[in-house]
Structures are given as C-alpha cells and as structure tokens.
Amino acid sequence: MSLIYLASQSPRRRQLLDQLGVAHELLLPGADEDAEALETVQAGELPDPYVRRATLNKLAAAVARRAARGLVPRPILCSDTTVALGTSILGKPADAEEALLMLRRLSGHTHRVLTAVALAWGEGQQALALSVSHVRFAAMPEAALRRYVDSGEPMGKAGAYAIQSQIAGWIEHIEGSYSGIMGLPLFETAGLLRQAGLDL
C-alpha cells in the first residue's frame, strides 16, 4: 500500500521519491482539469512568490481531487520548479524557438532554480518548503544550443533544460541542491514528510 500520493507527472520526481525509499502512487489531474492554468504567471509576479503560489495551487487542486475521487486519505505531495534569470521567470517553452531564446539568455550567465515542495496531511494540515540553487552555464556556441533544442529535451522543462541531460557538459558551477534542480529537493522533502509523522 502506498504511503503518499504524488501529484506530479514528472518521472524525475518519482525517481527521487524512490531514492528516499518513499512508496507512492500518482494522483494526476483528470481530463476535466486545466492543470496548466495553475502555473500561469501573473503580471509583475516575481519568481519566489510565483513558485510558492503555483505549488500551493497544485496542492489545493490535488486535495480536492482526492476528495472528489473518494480515495483513501493519505499525505499528498506536490512540487513546482521555475528558472529565474534576475526577476524574469523562464517557464516551460511553448516551442523550439522559445526554447532556443531561453537557452541563449542562460548561456554565459548564472541563474536561479527555485523548487517549492508542499505536503498536505491529516485534517487540513499543510506545509511548504523552498529550495533555491544557483547554476552557471558556460558560454555555449549557437550550434550546441541548436543541437540540444533539436534533441527535444528542452520541451516541458522550466528554463528549457534538464540538468541530468547532455547539457550538463556546459554547466560550469552549481551551488545548492542537485535534486532541487531536478525538480524535488530531497532534504526539504524529507523534512516535510517527517513533519507529517512519516518514518523515512
């Protein structure tokens, strides 16, 4: 029997939970839910408040989903990751051209990767933690950027890249949480699960 529900479609988050030894089952949006709307950036919104709000929106939707489906009550975990260059939020690229534009902006610069993780359990209890990491890309030649975009890897990824992909060869420096950059900061996640009374 699963210990928790994971409200995420990310296979990387599943792998990271497996790494912690946390049994889980997916609690994904139905066809009647507009999951993408939960990640819409509001005008003038800064990265830190945005990623917190988006994560809490996802959590509220997942709690309602569990209740509507009549599922056994268990802790529900969700997470959201965004890439920030200064005050600019770089979300998931809409197409290859936008992915290329994002990667050009990141090339030769340091950006932040913010991952918020939230957990709901018991009778309305919930908590959120935020992981902030800094990633520096070396200057990347245009040909390398185009090859990476052509691989399809940037699609569906905040900032148009995955740190565990081939682009790692251009990452000069990391400060922070590698698992947080992947999409689920394990230290913060373990802390939330312990707070909910789970024995890891």
Which residues are catalytically annotated? Answer: 80
Alpha-carbon distances of 153 from 23, 39, 95, rounded to whole Å:
28, 20, 12
Supply the angle between the helices 142-150 and 96-106 in degrees, to the nearest 10. Answer: 140
Residues 150-185 as b or e (16 or more Cβ within 10 Å = b): eeebbeebbbbbbbeeebeebeeeeebbebbbbbbb
